[in-house]
A and B are shown apart, each in its own frame.
Chain A
Amino acid sequence: MNAQQTLVMNGRELSFENGQTLLEVARRHHIDIPTLCHLKGTMPTGSCRICVVEVEGAQTLLAACATRAVAGMKVQTESAEVVKARRMILQLMLSSGNHNCAIRGSNDQEWTDFQLKVHGEDGSAELCPVWGDCRLQDLAYRYQVSGQHFAATPARYPIEDVNPFIVRDFSRCIQCGRCVQACNEVQVNNAIQFGYRGVETKIIAAGDRPLKDSDCVFCGECVQACPVGALVEKDGRYSVRPWETQKVRTTCSYCGVGCQIYLHVKDNQVVKVTGADLPPNNGSLCVKGRFGYHFIGSPERLTDPLIKENGTFRKASWDEALNLVAKRFKEIRDTHGGDRMGVLTSARMTNEDNYVAQKFTRAVLKTNNIDHCARL
């Protein structure tokens, strides 16, 4: 293997390794080639063609994600030809669905008619649920195009909102196939595929049934992979916009895999969870980790210390509760000995919490009667 091979990209001589694609070479050297269908860790399909580049001597523009680097290649990633092709692709995508962000153009009756139509089909007067968090919208701005260039096509399939967790909006699907790859190549749940042909193409589950009646296990990998507003979390659709939230990285609190997650916080509430692209999970999550966060802000959470009197609980201050617990623990320890007391610590708490619990048991209660639910 010759690790010293080079090619020329946008006039810069760049090194690459055998087997690397033009996209990989570009990314390694911080040259930004836009992508839509490309999904890390899966076989490139080259289907959206937004990553096309101009290679000297080639008959046509080549998809950077699917073209292997060859020594001596001369590549342009933003030439006039390339930009023209990208604009055309974006215009076609924008005209073919309910992309009702401002990028469609905004100066005549057609705009108003279009918005009203979309609002009717969405059942909402809001702009697209992923406004501000959409790869297609980003690229439309970058290449300054709108959907007006082509006649709008009607939405062929209605929104599927009968599922828990996920809303499927086919009118906003650009058929990039990332969800299909996420499902089949990353999570290997094999629940969704491309169905039908040509203009009727649709991402389908189990013979075109709703996700809830298919093999789908609602891991949400497809939602995280979707670059547009076709797959959106049911909770927070419209009500949570990315600029209103802050992301905090932490570790999931369900099973022992320890997935790295982002908690998306709005007004001191966790409103969404996404997977962080880091080990051990590399962006993947399961249904519990992604969608099982409601307990955090549940109104049933305990808010005050409780003391039982005559069989019923009453609220107490920390001082009162701590004094009572300390007094009773002390009495029992001093009367019966620490070995007549026990502590069940928790596999759900942090290491720091557990350390303090065992230190308390041993140093204060003077017993080794401490255990947790590892056995259960």
Chain B
Amino acid sequence: MTNTIADIETADVILITGSNTTENHPVLSAFVKRAAKFRGAKLIVVDPRRIKLTEFATHWLRPNLGTDVAWINGMLHVILKEKMQNAEFIKNRTEGFDALQKVVEKYTPEFVEGITGIPAESLVAAAKLFAGARTGSILYCMGITQHISGTDNVKSLANLAMLTGHLGKAGTGVNPLRGQNNVQGACDMGGLPNVYTAYQPVADLAIAKKMEDAWGVTGLSTKIGLKATEMIPKAHSGELKALYIIGENPLVSDADLGHVQKSLKHLDFLVVQDIFLTETAQMADVVLPSACFAEKEGTFSNTERRVQRVRRAVSPPGQSKDDWWITAEIATHMGYPMKYESSQAIFEEIAKVTPSYGGITYARIEGVGLHWPCPTQEHPGTPILHGQQFTRGKGLFHAIEWIPPAEQVDDEYPLFLTTGRLLYQYHTGTMTMKSADLNERAPESFAELSSTDARKYGLRDGDQITVASRRGAIKVKVKILPKAVDGTLFIPFHFAQGAANVLTNAALDPISGIPEFKVCAVKINKAA
């Protein structure tokens, strides 16, 4: 997030898109709901499903799946036409405005209505509300990123924030809501194929030299590595020989699961390190037992870039060990001695090689965490990014055309499928499914269907159906819910039985490598 969680509550207008916030980030959603209920903040929800937050919204825009660039360009068009752009911000802080102006010219509200299904007048009203606000905050989540145009969608939201000048101050910003406790930290730490810690490029020779000196090694690769979504196909083709999977369960979380399973079978050697014998761990040659968060000392970095302490409350079961200890021992056994006395010693090394974490110490975050960038011991941290300038200097507008999703409905597969999480389960359920009461609330997979579609197919609540895509088929119960969109099924992806990801399309965004979990085409039949 460019801004903080607390900051959301100070915004005059909040635009939320592709985020079912009350279910996926419940505590953060309270800041939004309080702003709307008690501070008179106006809420614009852009989401096909009738999610809970629509009850708090001033405007609810309901786009067709995979049409985000179109409605955002439509808003940009309206703002320019009404001359409501922030001319000063555009002049002083951005570049590429002319190209943007040219591209959005054809995205008239009527043209956009044809693509998105959003009534022209609703789009105009929402665009004017956002542009006219004193402060406007944009929140988004996987509904924006899990598309083949995910990167374009994010850039388009950045365009909207820059055009209106809603950046760099309290109550504004472009704020992705991170879905995993330490996804921010895993990225910050260089758990990515193209960068070391703090996004220092692996292809930069000077950086490679710096890391070689820090680590006492030579020959660090400057070649960008494979993304997770590229490793699986390479495993399938035999190019990738070994995988070391730590705390991940791709056999439930990835798109097109049938393919993932075959791919992992093709590996010469698979090591899985986890707290449970997950679906993925069962395929491993060696399984290494690790400690969970309640048994560890360390840090997590949350969605607002706040680095916070994790503390050990109980001892790990049996022989299980800290993840870092296991990895360091493998390194040592391979002839590269990696010995750390404690997680604190590792953090001290992190601070040395990671400019944005340079000023953070365990002592400084004992009470409350610090927001990076925090380059020196005296630096107070940075709750709000881009106050004076952007990372690259001037903010670059991206002129982007809308492209349709990779898969469209047709006569054979006439319904769209979209996926997501439920309040009572988490990701692949490895953790939440150990709590009986959470399972009572969300016991099994289901397909959410609108009453219109249910009538069309002669289905009743609770009926068993087969849902099939071009990649596979699953059996699930029907739930007729008011949240549903006509012509679209929603299936939560948590469950290994009735797994939504048997159906999903592994078509990737070309830049981020994120699969298009949010749109594919399916057909349904009443199960025999």
Interface size of A by CB at 8 A reads 106
Q: Which of A251, A291, A339 contacts B437 (CB 8 A)?
A: A291
Number of A-B contacts (CB under 8 A): 456
The yes or no answer to B178 lying at the interface (CB within 8 A) is: yes
Q: Which of B177, B231, B335 contacts A344 (CB 8 A)?
A: B231
Would B221 and A270 count as touching, CB distance under 8 A? Answer: no
Would A325 and B346 count as touching, CB distance under 8 A? Answer: no
Would B26 and A286 count as touching, CB distance under 8 A? Answer: yes
Would B333 and A325 count as touching, CB distance under 8 A? Answer: yes
* CB under 8 Å from chain B, chain A span 327-355: 328-330, 332, 336, 338-355
From A47-55, A118-126, A300-308, the one touching the partner chain is A300-308
Top 10 closest pairs, chain A to chain B, by CB: A303-B318, A258-B302, A256-B178, A368-B225, A350-B298, A346-B247, A326-B333, A164-B437, A302-B289, A286-B26
**A168 shortest CB reach to chain B, Å:** 15
Ordered by A's residue number, 27 sampled pairs between the chains whose C-beta atoms are within 8 Å are: A164-B441, A185-B34, A234-B437, A253-B181, A255-B25, A255-B181, A279-B306, A281-B27, A288-B423, A292-B432, A306-B289, A308-B287, A328-B242, A329-B330, A342-B225, A342-B240, A347-B183, A350-B323, A351-B189, A352-B346, A353-B246, A355-B189, A363-B220, A368-B194, A371-B225, A375-B227, A376-B515
0/1 string, B297-313, CB within 8 A of A gives 1: 01111111011111111
Which A residues form the contact surface with B (CB < 8 A)?
164-165, 185-188, 217-219, 234-235, 248-260, 263, 265, 268-270, 278-281, 284-289, 291-298, 300-308, 313, 318, 321-326, 328-330, 332, 336, 338-360, 362-364, 366-376
Would B30 and A187 count as touching, CB distance under 8 A? Answer: yes
From B71-79, B97-105, B132-140, B266-274, the one touching the partner chain is B266-274
A residues near B177, Cβ cutoff 8 Å = 255-256
B residues near A345, Cβ cutoff 8 Å = 186, 191, 246-248
Instruction: Give Cα distance in the complex from A371 to B281, angstroms.
Output: 18
Instruction: Give Cα distance in the complex from A306 to B192, angstroms.
Output: 28
Would B182 and A351 count as touching, CB distance under 8 A? Answer: yes
Q: Which of A185, A250, A357 contacts B327 (CB 8 A)?
A: A357
The yes or no answer to B458 lying at the interface (CB within 8 A) is: no
Instruction: Contacts A256-B183, A324-B286 given; indicate if A350 touches B242 (C-beta within 8 A).
Output: no
What is the chain A residue whose CB lies nearest that of B324? A356
What is the chain A residue whose CB lies nearest that of B26? A286
**B326 shortest CB reach to chain A, Å:** 8
Would B431 and A250 count as touching, CB distance under 8 A? Answer: no
Q: Which of A260, A269, A353 has the most chain B CB within a 10 Å cutoff?
A: A353
The yes or no answer to B320 lying at the interface (CB within 8 A) is: yes
What is the chain B residue whose CB lies nearest that of A248? B313
What is the chain B residue whose CB lies nearest that of A283? B27
Instruction: Give Cα distance in the complex from A374 to B188, angstroms.
Output: 12
A residues near B183, Cβ cutoff 8 Å = 256, 347, 372-374
B residues near A374, Cβ cutoff 8 Å = 180, 183, 186-187, 192
A residues near B253, Cβ cutoff 8 Å = 373, 376
Would B512 and A375 count as touching, CB distance under 8 A? Answer: yes
Instruction: Give Cα distance in the complex from A303 to B513, angstroms.
Output: 35
What is the chain B residue whose CB lies nearest that of A375? B514
**A181 shortest CB reach to chain B, Å:** 12
0/1 string, B365-377, CB within 8 A of A gives 1: 0011100000000
Instruction: Contacts A347-B181, A350-B343 given; indicate if A340 touches B350 (C-beta within 8 A).
Output: no
Given A325-B333, A376-B515, output 18 extra A-B contacts at Cβ < 8 Å: A256-B177, A263-B314, A279-B5, A294-B435, A302-B289, A304-B289, A305-B288, A321-B286, A329-B334, A350-B310, A351-B185, A352-B298, A354-B189, A358-B196, A368-B193, A369-B225, A371-B193, A376-B228
B residues near A304, Cβ cutoff 8 Å = 289, 318-319
Q: Which of A248, A259, A278, A340 contacts B368 (CB 8 A)?
A: A278
From B59-67, B120-128, B211-219, the one touching the partner chain is B211-219
